[in-house]
Amino acid sequence: MGILRKLFRAQPQPTADGAFSPSPLAIKLGTSSTTDYDGGAYAKTYTGKKNRVLMVCTEQRNMTMANGKKFSTGNHPVEMGLPMLHLMNAGFEIDVVTPTGAPVAIEEWAMPADDADIQKLYNDFADAFQNPGSLADFAGISMTDDTLYAAVFIPGGHGAMLGLPDNADLGKVLHWAHNTGLHTLALCHGPAALLAAKNDAGFLYEGYKITVFPDAVDKQTPMIGYLPGPMPWWVCEKLNGLGVETINKKADSSTHVDRRLVTGASPQAANTFGRLAAETLLKRADANS
């Protein structure tokens, strides 16, 4: 009976829409009811005009795995929330968009229920997440040289692999951000969306070094029921094939800055990544003042 209970705790759990969320064991091992948020205090905050950050989120929830089963995913609440808190506390404002303006998909099973800062953030942004802007509209009318934006932020969660890596509008936005001197911020599986920056001229981030969630860890997670099957494709493998060097081997707290690209490795990096992103934008503002 004990063995059966252990086996059940390692089985992905079915959702109402026919997908699977992580097993009780995976939830216990891979999530927490609180975070390591450090409070987001900054001695100096940004007060200039370029104070906006465009946060590009997925609107798709279910990932079809290699075995045909569907994984209930979206944007990871900690990987989205902690960087948002840091950026806002540093004086920046967040504009939320999805590819078509459909609601943001969020991995509710990873929500830290006992973290007051995250709970307040998601309450404050409830309407923005339910009614985000359209990335297609942004790409059509808002990519100007005199932009008020400081950065583009792509939060993590396996959902970043859905609808973003092959999105032509995101590709345009990433090239625009690069050409106008904005920073690009991507955490955990968020760098998967950078694949949208590939065009006939090549890949925008060829030769860059990044931290990202390792393929090796994604290959292990079905064993504890985190994923209901093997991944449909591998993020690091795709990026490496386009000339990107992934510098972390573990799903740890590592972060990295290469030119104007800021990356982080996993949920464990969310707080450190958020602070690094905010401080990087503040330093750029000081340099340009």
Distance, C-alpha 15 to centroid of its chain: 23
Q: Rounded to an integer, what distance in angstroms lies between the CA atom of residue 146 and that of residue 249?
A: 39
Residue 33 has what pLDDT? 98
Name every residue whose Cβ is closer than 8 Å to that of residue 112 and which is 6 or more positions away in sequence.
31, 32, 33, 34, 35, 77, 78, 118, 119
Domain ranges of the chain: 47-288
Instruction: Output the tens digit of pLDDT for each of the chain's 289 residues.
Output: 344 445 457 899 999 999 999 999 999 999 999 999 999 999 999 999 999 999 999 999 999 999 999 999 999 999 999 999 999 999 999 999 999 999 999 999 999 999 999 999 999 999 999 999 999 999 999 999 999 999 999 999 999 999 999 999 999 999 999 999 999 999 999 999 999 999 999 999 999 999 999 999 999 999 999 999 999 999 999 999 999 999 999 999 999 999 999 999 999 999 999 999 999 999 988 777 5
* Predicted pLDDT of residue 241: 98
Cβ-contact 266, 213 below 8 angstroms: yes
Beta-ladder partners of 154 = 186
Residue 72 CA to residue 61 CA, distance in Å, equals 6
Q: Give pLDDT, residue 240.
A: 98
- Active-site amino acid positions: 188
- Report the predicted TM-score, pTM, of the whole model to 2 decimal places: 0.96
List the CATH code of the domain at 47-288. Answer: 3.40.50.880
